[in-house]
Amino acid sequence: MAAAGEEKTVSDYIVHHLTNLTYGKLPEGFERHDGDTVAAGGEWTFAHGADEIAAMGFNAVHVDSLGWSIGLGLVFCMLFRWAAVRASADAPSGLLNFIEMIVEFIDNQVKDTFHGKNKLIAPLSLTIFVWVFLMNLMDLIPVDVVPELMLFAGVEYQKIVPSTDPNITMGMAIGVFFLMLFYSIKVKGFGFVRELTMNPFNHWAFIPVNLFMEVVGLLAKPFSLGLRLFGNMYAGEMIFILIAALFGAGVFWLLPAALLQLGWAIFHILVITLQAFIFMVLTIVYLSMAHEDH
């Protein structure tokens, strides 16, 4: 792959595809890639390379991850609104039938897994499953197509799979975590404090031990949600990039690379669906646990 008139090595190619389009504030006095020094007060700009991204620290956002995730969320809303408007008592067909199958499937999963009473859980589960699936589905687009098009438009970096960004996956997981805390307090009240301090050893002397174990277990839930999705999708994207790099290794590798790309894409259809399903099911399970008042 060539960028800015320079031929990239395989290592450069991989790093480029794994770098987010980052907008943030560079600190005062920082020397940029073109030799310019950031003026007093810092500078808000798009990062060029890992050094500038690291210098921005927390004063930065991944524009591509946010843009694609919000865009796919809007696609989900418009698609399901289209289906809701056209829903009727008649037998559905085509896309409408497929959407109704998804809604029924999610509804059955909630009925089987969630043991409380909450009208939020079913629509939340549907949103999570479809949204995560759409974000994962972007992984099936050939890795060079969108970055090359954006490069012609003057945008140097572009990651189009939001679920390969831990900020996105952990953001969703933290949202679920806050819901867990909210419903744990709402449903259990002071019983939630007792749950954290008097389990598994029901004696005041073991409160520090109980609290440590329960808090660790509680915090492990959002990490298990966010990092599992990120790790699986990031690994899948990395394999796609490595296979794509084979196309530049010579004529001998063209056919093997094409077969590997096709085989991995077919297998990855299962992966992206399974990861969306797991994220949804764990969300239902965790919120069900938050509603269980012993």
CA angle 177, 182, 185 (to 5 degrees): 125
Query: What pLDDT shows up at residue 144?
Result: 87
- Specify whether 228 is catalytic: yes
Q: Do the domain assignments include residue 151?
A: no
From the candidates 32, 194, 199, 228, give the one annotated as an active-site residue.
228
Which range of residues forms the domain containing residue 179? 63-145+163-291
Residue type for 261, please? Q
In order along its 294 residues, the chain shows pLDDT tens digits of: 444 445 668 888 888 888 999 999 888 888 887 778 888 888 898 988 888 898 888 889 999 999 999 999 999 999 999 988 887 777 677 788 889 999 999 999 999 999 888 899 999 999 999 999 999 999 999 888 898 888 888 888 999 999 999 999 999 999 999 999 999 999 888 888 888 888 788 877 888 898 899 899 999 999 999 999 999 999 999 999 988 888 877 778 788 888 988 899 999 999 999 999 999 999 999 999 988 876
Residue 156, in any domain of the structure:
no
**37 within a domain of the structure (yes/no):** no
User: What's residue 279's pLDDT?
Assistant: 96
Q: How many domains does the chain have?
A: 1
> Does 224 qualify as catalytic in the annotation?
yes
13, part of any domain:
no
| 193 within some domain | yes
Within-domain flag for 41: no
> Which of 118, 167, 199, 224 is flagged as catalytic?
224
Tell me how far apart the alpha carbons of residues 28 and 40 are, in angstroms, rounded to a whole number.
5
Contacts of 17 (CB under 8 A, 6+ apart): 143, 147, 159, 237, 241
Domain contains 71: yes
